[in-house]
């Protein structure tokens, strides 16, 4: 189970980085969203996926007497989902506003701060 999740995490990271290297803002935003999901799956996989016993300790015991699931990665992921969704919503509004102002979603044509009379900086290596 953890091997399959690790492979899925690797694929998510590869796809996210590929999309974030694009010149179009929408692809970059999709890459950021997939990157957030990859990080959440990484935390989930690192927390050891267990289905044996829920993370509840009986009242009579101070410490669990058997193996229990770790609730901390699940709580971290829940918080990260909320934060990544709000971050994605902010980026989406920012990209839409930039598209309204500039009329393009291509990052090469969004070079408003650079004077048109001068040459562009190198766009590749």
- The DSSP line for 7-33 is HHHHHHHHHHHHHHTSSBHHHHHHHHH
Prediction pTM value: 0.75
Higher pLDDT, 84 or 125: 84
Query: Phi/psi at 106 (nearest 5 deg)?
Result: -85, 130
Higher pLDDT, 92 or 72: 92
pLDDT of 66? 75
Counting Cα atoms < 13 Å in the Cβ hemisphere of 74 gives: 8
Q: What is the pLDDT of residues 54-82, one digit of tens each?
A: 777 778 888 877 777 777 888 888 999 99
User: What CATH code would you report for 2-53+68-102?
Assistant: 1.10.287
What mean pLDDT is predicted for residues 108-117?
A: 73
Q: What's the whole-number average pLDDT of the chain?
A: 85
Counting Cα atoms < 13 Å in the Cβ hemisphere of 90 gives: 6
pLDDT of 81? 93
């Amino acid at each position: 189970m953890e091997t399959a999740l690790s492979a899925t995490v690797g694929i998510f990271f590869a796809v996210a980085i590929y999309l974030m290297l694009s010149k179009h803002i929408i692809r970059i935003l999709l890459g950021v969203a997939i990157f957030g999901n990859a990080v959440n799956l990484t935390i989930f996989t690192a927390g050891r996926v267990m289905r044996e016993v829920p993370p509840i300790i009986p009242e009579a015991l101070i410490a669990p007497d058997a193996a229990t699931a770790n609730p901390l990665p699940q709580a971290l992921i829940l918080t990260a989902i909320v934060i990544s969704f709000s971050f994605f919503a902010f980026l989406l509004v920012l990209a839409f506003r930039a598209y309204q102002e500039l009329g393009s979603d291509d990052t090469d044509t969004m070079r408003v701060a650079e004077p048109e009379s001068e040459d562009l900086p190198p766009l590749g290596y």
